[in-house]
Chain A
């Protein structure tokens, strides 16, 4: 369970370009199911997901994961939580160019020092499952948008995280590819993972069984609907 208590996030604090991305947000996210954060650009969706996923710290307020306070953890422990609890799928895919599909998927597990055979087998398994078995040796630059997004998805799952965070996963895909990726997210949620998606794409609500929709506006929660 993830709890936000009066969380505020300010970028460039004290500078002329100061920007308050989240304003005193309080919410609780339960384990399991699909939660979608919707809202216009600049509403604070991505910021909220970065805070959930320990990619940034709140300026004020408290964030707890299963009752454990995250907002004051040292960087090392925060990485530990990030590594084992969260998997990320980025809007721009953020695959590392020059590496193969397989290497990109294995990358999050490198610091763990898992035996190569075990790690590469796990990566191959995810890639096979996402229909990329024939492309494991290709450099990621050769992939289409849909393939790149599925590779990013496999990478997010390599450390077997409980929570999958997908930031605008369909933003760079056409409708067919979007449906394909959303179907995979739906499958993962059905297997018991918590899936958090930020999106303003209406297709998301059509394609998968969303459990909860949280609407953001100007850094504040403007609506919270359970489906």
Chain B
């Protein structure tokens, strides 16, 4: 055992010396490799972080949302539906919601307007999301002028800014009173945008949804799990797009690595011949090359992954956020919860480290199984 450890120490020593001998080439390779791992890991960590964040936030979301459909499109929901919904067995609370979008040409962005019953506001008062406040450069006490559905300007006074901790959901949010909302969009008093339901037993949410469809054939109940799935699909799609781009990079790197490894230089082949001639066996050469590949690729992996982890969880993920986070102009500004996923690390290791080590080993093995007499001939 001691001999084995001593042997590995010698092999590492030799490998490090060999790597340093081809300093420029290996540092270049290490940089490209690290960048590649960094890009891949950033995408994976960010996609997973966003999915996790969305899941955490949606934990408090209502179990069922009920919309009314007309010709397959979302329509306003009559207030009379609320009472019928309340009477369905298994349904807890029912609440009509008022919300919508408002396009602000001044900043070319959509705001999400919402009436929040848990935050009562007087007519003409609003509370805005942090990103919205940033973009419009408004603060508490300022007025925000929106154009109402009848074409008249509607001045609204900012009485609060939403907490930055909830910015993922509230970045572009504008909370207003029911009266202001109905005035702005010219909503009749007996309709809501949709309704949210709680159910006594969350496992019965699907059954409750079926009963709702029976009661209102033109309704469309949406379960929380379906929203989660949609988020997942959206992030997966975006992640997929990024992977297509990164795939090209990976391919380029694979070619580079293969070229580096497959094209053992005459000097490297000669070195292998000398080592064999002076008493190294094929296994020793392969172990040395294994260290060579492992040292380079694991260094690149560790540095790349650590940098990616840092930039995603502490650096605001500036690099990929615009691609993965959404299409809005008002990007939320928030911190993802730091997390390390063992399975994800294994996947990354499998796609970045393993191919490199194999690409290093195969040509060395080919050179090492040849008779070492070429070394004798100089």
Seen from chain A, the residues whose Cβ lies within 8 Å of a Cβ on chain B are: 46-47, 49-50, 53, 55-57, 75-76, 79-80, 82-83, 88, 90-92, 94, 96-99, 103, 106-116, 155-156, 159, 167
Nearest-neighbor residue (CB-CB) of A94 within chain B? B274
Do B378 and A111 touch (CB < 8 A)?
no
Does more than half of chain B's interface fall in helix, strand or loop, or is it mixed? helix
**Complex-state Cα separation, A103 to B376, whole angstroms:** 20
B165 CB within 8 Å of chain A: no
B372 CB within 8 Å of chain A: yes
Chain B positions 47-81 with a Cβ under 8 Å from a chain A Cβ: none
Stretch from B97-105, B278-286, B302-310, B348-356 contacting the other chain: B278-286
Do B281 and A110 touch (CB < 8 A)?
no
Q: Which residues of the other chain, A, contact B10 by a CB distance below 8 angstroms?
A: 106, 110-111, 113
**Complex-state Cα separation, A115 to B373, whole angstroms:** 29
Smallest beta-carbon distance B245→chain A, Å = 39
**Complex-state Cα separation, A90 to B284, whole angstroms:** 21
Chain B positions 262-299 with a Cβ under 8 Å from a chain A Cβ: 270-271, 274-284
**Complex-state Cα separation, A79 to B276, whole angstroms:** 8
Do A76 and B277 touch (CB < 8 A)?
no
Do A91 and B284 touch (CB < 8 A)?
no
Best-surrounded residue of B2, B11, B17, B377 (most CB of chain A within 10 A): B377
State which size class the interface on B falls in: 35 or more
Q: Which residues of the other chain, A, contact B376 by a CB distance below 8 angstroms?
A: 46, 49-50, 53, 55, 88, 90-91, 167
19 contacts between A and B (CB under 8 A): A46-B377, A53-B277, A56-B371, A56-B373, A75-B282, A75-B369, A76-B282, A83-B279, A90-B274, A94-B274, A94-B378, A98-B20, A107-B278, A109-B279, A110-B11, A110-B14, A110-B280, A112-B3, A113-B6
Do A79 and B3 touch (CB < 8 A)?
no
Closest 3 interchain pairs by CB?
A92-B378, A113-B3, A113-B7
Do A50 and B279 touch (CB < 8 A)?
no
Best-surrounded residue of A57, A91, A112, A156 (most CB of chain B within 10 A): A112
Do B278 and A76 touch (CB < 8 A)?
no
**Complex-state Cα separation, A30 to B277, whole angstroms:** 23
Nearest-neighbor residue (CB-CB) of A165 within chain B? B376
Nearest-neighbor residue (CB-CB) of B270 within chain A? A94
Nearest-neighbor residue (CB-CB) of A86 within chain B? B279
Contact of A155 among B4, B21, B278, B371 (CB under 8 A): B278
Smallest beta-carbon distance A71→chain B, Å = 13
Once A94-B378, A112-B7 are accepted as A-B contacts, the answer to whether A79 and B17 lie under 8 Å apart by CB is no
Q: Mark B352-378, 1 if CB is under 8 A from A, else 0.
A: 000000000000000001011101111
**Complex-state Cα separation, A139 to B11, whole angstroms:** 19
Do A75 and B281 touch (CB < 8 A)?
yes
Smallest beta-carbon distance B264→chain A, Å = 15
B233 CB within 8 Å of chain A: no
Seen from chain B, the residues whose Cβ lies within 8 Å of a Cβ on chain A are: 2-7, 9-11, 14, 17-18, 20-21, 270-271, 274-284, 369, 371-373, 375-378
Do B17 and A90 touch (CB < 8 A)?
no
**Complex-state Cα separation, A142 to B210, whole angstroms:** 86
Smallest beta-carbon distance B289→chain A, Å = 14
**Complex-state Cα separation, A114 to B282, whole angstroms:** 19
**Complex-state Cα separation, A84 to B20, whole angstroms:** 30
Contact of B271 among A91, A96, A155 (CB under 8 A): A96
Contact of A79 among B18, B279, B373 (CB under 8 A): B279
Do A90 and B375 touch (CB < 8 A)?
yes
Q: Which residues of the other chain, A, contact B9 by a CB distance below 8 angstroms?
A: 116
Once A96-B274, A98-B17 are accepted as A-B contacts, the answer to whether A111 and B6 lie under 8 Å apart by CB is no
Nearest-neighbor residue (CB-CB) of B11 within chain A? A110
Do A110 and B7 touch (CB < 8 A)?
yes
Smallest beta-carbon distance B14→chain A, Å = 6
Contact of A111 among B18, B279, B372 (CB under 8 A): B279
Do A79 and B280 touch (CB < 8 A)?
yes
Do B378 and A90 touch (CB < 8 A)?
yes
Best-surrounded residue of B20, B271, B279, B373 (most CB of chain A within 10 A): B279
Once A55-B371, A56-B373 are accepted as A-B contacts, the answer to whether A110 and B284 lie under 8 Å apart by CB is yes
Q: Which residues of the other chain, B, contact A103 by a CB distance below 8 angstroms?
A: 17
Contact of A114 among B4, B6, B277, B284 (CB under 8 A): B6
Best-surrounded residue of B18, B376, B377 (most CB of chain A within 10 A): B376
Q: Which residues of the other chain, B, contact A57 by a CB distance below 8 angstroms?
A: 371
- Given A109-B279, A113-B5: 14 more A-B contacts, CB < 8 Å: A46-B376, A47-B373, A55-B277, A55-B371, A56-B373, A75-B282, A90-B274, A90-B378, A106-B10, A110-B10, A112-B3, A113-B6, A114-B6, A167-B376
Q: Which residues of the other chain, A, contact B377 by a CB distance below 8 angstroms?
A: 46
Q: Which residues of the other chain, A, contact B369 by a CB distance below 8 angstroms?
A: 75
**Complex-state Cα separation, A47 to B377, whole angstroms:** 9
Contact of B280 among A55, A88, A111 (CB under 8 A): A111
Smallest beta-carbon distance A168→chain B, Å = 9
